[in-house]
A = this chain, B = another copy of it.
Amino acid sequence: MTLRFSLLTFISILFGVSAYSQDEDVHMIRKIHDQALAHGKVYPWLSGLCLNHGGRIAGSPAYMGAANYTKDLLATIPGVKSYHQACEASYWMRGDKEVVELMTNDGKKIKLNALSLGNSIATPSDGLMAEVIEVQSLDEVESLGREKIQGKIVFYNRPMDPTKIRTFSAYGGAVDQRVYGASKAAEYGAVAALVRSMTTNLDDFPHTGVLVYKDTLSKIPGIAISTNDAEMLSARLKEGNVKVYAKTNCRKIGLRPAPTVIGEIKGTEFPEEIIVVGGHLDSWDVGQGAHDDGAGCAQAMEVLRIFQAMDYKPKRTIRAVLFSNEENGLAGGRTYAEVSNSKKEFHLAALESDSGGFSPRGFSFEADTSVFKQYYRHVSQWLPLLESYGLIFEMGGSGADISPLKSQKGLLIGLRPDSQRYFDYHHTSTDTIDKVNKRELELGAAAMASLIYLIDKYGLK
């Protein structure tokens, strides 16, 4: 042995990885990308899901169609065992009539582009009409008090902050209005809540999304209106009183089967260490659930296909998990973790893609505090292998569906794609396959497969 180390050797020693492995890893990650970009199935698989099983809200017939379609696709990958994990979801169904109209002072009606929020109750069957009061926050409802709110329609109009570089931060800063606005308004006697849609765009598309009622409070309908209509309504309120008429007939149907779909490759060396790669199969009932989150499901399936196509036999058990009911209840993620805990399984890692099928820009990592630093130090070694693909590592949230696994003390990971276009399409009728760029989707799948490959090969210690 000589003391003349190459830089690669030095790096390898620093990272505790042999020089041979580094070369092999560079080669394998290149092969993963070649597979995804030249022979990828992720785009046609997503197309089939979107075009034949769109609007697949958990519990719906469309959802069951999607669950069968994806289970069958997974079964086409040699070496993959695919199955349904039983799960029940509270099925909420939009009605066939949603009419929201602004009543002008001269007796005209202006139709507003509106969608009932998910889980909302309906209006009375002949609708409701009331004066509108605009607020910028839940706190403002409190400070206005019952005197101003009673009998009114509360209109939440605080926009997503366009100056946030990451649109998810802007969403996080505004979405309390959609989730809790109706209950807060009900607390002070309002008859309904209108919510400005969650997008920085000015357009005509209403964005639905989950609404959560406080059990202790009376329930009132919650309805999203498009941002253009929110601007118009706000402008008219500056001129004087405005009444709005709303009629909706959405309703809760009750518990329905909505299985989570699983495809599994058994590990050759450490089959008891499970690595999950997933997304959620359910979507809202409008649009096709292309970016949210058909993309993540198709990518998770593609990871298994890539491994098989490369003849890579994982040491650990790899599961593609297409979770049920992320959008309005998280029954899929909760059930999966409960079943796993009851079987005393250990998830070494779980990676979720639920931020759209856009160009991947990196991964964010989280874990129980007792293990996080160790894991993060370990995975950081691999960054040089992924940087040339434009990926970075950071600490941060992973995914809603995998978060119930945190107590197993594995590593939880979120794919972080470019977020600029996500809220153009999120929870709207325009979240359709034509908004997904094939290469961007493929690169996301390749990034996921690359990281899963490294975790599988080296473990996390």
Contact = CB atoms under 8 A, between A and B. Distances in A.
A385 to B, nearest CB: 13
A81 interface: no
Contacts of A37: 162-163
Contact of A33 (B165, B388, B390, B437): B165
B439 A200 contact: yes
Interface in A1-47: 33-34, 37-38
A299 to B, nearest CB: 15
Interface in A199-230: 200-201
B421 A201 contact: no
A391 to B, nearest CB: 11
A50 interface: no
A440 interface: yes
Interface string A371-397: 000000000000000001110000000
Main secondary structure of the interface of A (DSSP, over half): loop
A88 interface: no
A361 B163 CA distance: 18
For this complex, into which size category does the number of interface residues on chain A fall?
Answer: 20 to 34
Nearest to A387: B392
B443 A165 contact: yes
A38 B163 contact: yes
A424 interface: yes
A167 B440 CA distance: 11
A361 B360 CA distance: 12
Interface string A411-430: 00000001011001000000
Interface string A131-164: 0000000000000000000000000000000110
24 contacts: A33-B163, A33-B165, A34-B163, A37-B163, A38-B163, A162-B439, A165-B388, A165-B389, A165-B390, A165-B443, A167-B439, A200-B439, A201-B438, A359-B359, A359-B418, A359-B420, A361-B390, A418-B418, A420-B437, A420-B439, A420-B440, A420-B443, A421-B437, A424-B437
Interface of A: 33-34, 37-38, 162-163, 165, 167, 200-201, 359, 361, 388-390, 418, 420-421, 424, 437-440, 443
Given A162-B439, A200-B439, A420-B437, 10 more contacts: A34-B163, A37-B162, A37-B163, A38-B162, A38-B163, A167-B439, A359-B418, A361-B390, A421-B439, A421-B440
